[in-house]
Amino acid sequence: MLIIGLTGSIATGKSTVSNILSSPPYSLPIIDADLLARKVVEPGTPGYKAIVNYFGTSTPDLLLEDAPSNPAGKPLNRPALGRRVFGVSEERKRDRAVLNGIVHPAVRKEVYKALIWHYVRGQWAVVLDVPLLFESGMDLICGTVVVVGVHDPAVQMSRLRARDSYLTAEDAEHRVRSQGDVLTKAEQAEFRGTASKRGVVVWNDADKPELERAVTVAMREIQASSPRWWAWVLLVAPPVGASVAVWNLAVNFATQKSWERKKREDKAKL
């Protein structure tokens, strides 16, 4: 089974691409890390309790006071939590790291459970939709990584404020910056290998029809590099599947280390 890692930055169109891939003619199952991140911090979960314990004193409006009664606790006020962790100050970075340390391990566990479920069902491919795919290290398990990008950060901020009208210009800028430079993510995807389709970049600088055409081209190339019959071979021959998984992990690990070395060398030249 091919794991297609789908990532980008906020308001680049990643969710739109996810919707396209989940619909005909692709009809691919989507493992949405954002949805799982909500699930693992619902009232009563260990994640919820850890967030309340850490952020409760510093974020007075952390919980929704007017929410319906729930014996497990009041839901998290996500905009308030976002204001607490999104930003470029050292305090915001520290708090964001704490939040990620709570949420990411729980999400990763749910992702692995979903991957096993889709594998035993004989799926040709599954889309792993993760905003921080590279940052979390989950690109290691992906056969292909698709980055949805735009060239101009101003386009991101404009789209973000149109989508989330409650955000100020400063809030929008903080959220865009907190998810990393999408151009760097595109470069990292290309570094994985565009010829082998281990890394693909879909640019979303125009309108939705243009984006759909770009997705069509990308998926045609990905399907050619990993045909459906190969997925069935991996399913009916578990030893082959295990060997391919180990090989893929090794290649991705080596590529990741080469990328990190390249970035260090580039930084040293500055």
The domain spans of the chain are: 1-29+123-270, 40-122
What does residue 58 show for φ and ψ, rounded to 5 degrees? -90, -15
Give the burial class of 175: count Cβ atoms within 10 A of its Cβ; 0-12 exposed, 13-18 middle, 19 or more buried: buried
**Other C-beta atoms lying within 10 Å of the C-beta of residue 60:** 9
List of residues 6+ apart from 80 with CB closer than 8 A: 59, 61, 62
SS3 call for 241: helix
Give the strand order in the sheet containing 125-129: 30-32, 125-129, 2-8, 144-149, 199-203
Backbone region of residue 86 per phi and psi (left: phi > 0; alpha: psi in -120 to 50; beta: other values): beta
**Which stretch, 46-55, 85-94, 261-270, has highest mean pLDDT?**
46-55
Residue range 210-219: mean pLDDT, rounded:
96
Q: How far is the CA of 14 from the CAs of 40, 191, 208, 262, in angstroms?
A: 22, 20, 12, 27
- Better pLDDT: 72 or 139: 139
Mind listing the pLDDT tens digit for each residue in 145-184?
A: 999 999 888 888 888 888 877 777 777 777 777 666 889 9
Q: How far is the CA of 237 from the CAs of 115, 175, 231, in angstroms?
A: 17, 45, 10
Prediction pTM value: 0.86
- Which range is least confidently modeled, 54-58, 62-66, 207-211? 62-66
User: Which structure tokens are listed for 9?
Assistant: 């930055």
Q: How far is the CA of 254 from the CAs of 16, 79, 242, in angstroms?
A: 31, 38, 18
Mind listing the pLDDT tens digit for each residue in 82-106?
A: 889 888 788 888 999 999 999 999 9
Beta bridge partners of 146: 6, 200
pLDDT surpassing 70 at residue 114: yes
Percent of the chain with pLDDT over 70: 99
User: Which structure tokens are listed for 220?
Assistant: 């045609």
Which residue type occupies 93? K
Report pLDDT for 180: 67
Class at the top of the CATH hierarchy for domain 1-29+123-270: alpha beta
The confidence band for 252, taking pLDDT boundaries of 50, 70 and 90, is very high
Average pLDDT, the chain: 90
List of residues 6+ apart from 88 with CB closer than 8 A: 174, 177, 178
SS3 call for 4: strand
